[in-house]
Amino acid sequence: MKKMIVAFSAVAAVMTAPAFADDGMAGMSMSGKPSAMKAPSGAAMTDAEVKNVDAAAGMVTLKHGALENVGMPPMTMAFKVKDADMVKRVHEGDRVKVRVENVKGTLTIVAMERQS
């Protein structure tokens, strides 16, 4: 009985693995030829408003729209920034477009553009 449970667990783990690879494989070419890998300008960028900037912690609080690529509905939340310069370029009340990604288990702003 134990062998059947272990075998079933191994099969179940293999069967669910592709669900986690979907986003990471976007833009990849399996033909052996290099692909452009560059997303169109503004791809997956979400409108947001800066609610708070904590330069010491490297965090920006955003009131944002849905972050489709990480499965998050609209809300207000603090995010880590990819690089410290990002917090120097924005201020409370600024309208921005952001790209948030899961970086080593932490939702992180990887791109941020101020809107005029």
- The mean pLDDT value for 41-63 works out to 91
Nearest to 98 by CA among 38, 87, 23, 54: 87
- The string of pLDDT tens digits covering residues 73-116 is 999 999 999 999 999 999 999 999 999 999 999 999 999 999 97
Which CATH number describes the domain made up of 46-114? 2.40.50.320
CA distance 1 to 108: 45
The residue ranges of every structural domain in the chain are 46-114
Backbone dihedral angles phi then psi of residue 56, each to the nearest 5 degrees = -60, -35
E-strand stretches of 1-94: 46-54, 59-64, 75-81
φ and ψ of 24, to 5 deg: -70, -15
Single pTM value for the model: 0.63
DSSP 65-91: --BGGGTB-SEEEEEEESSTHHHHS--
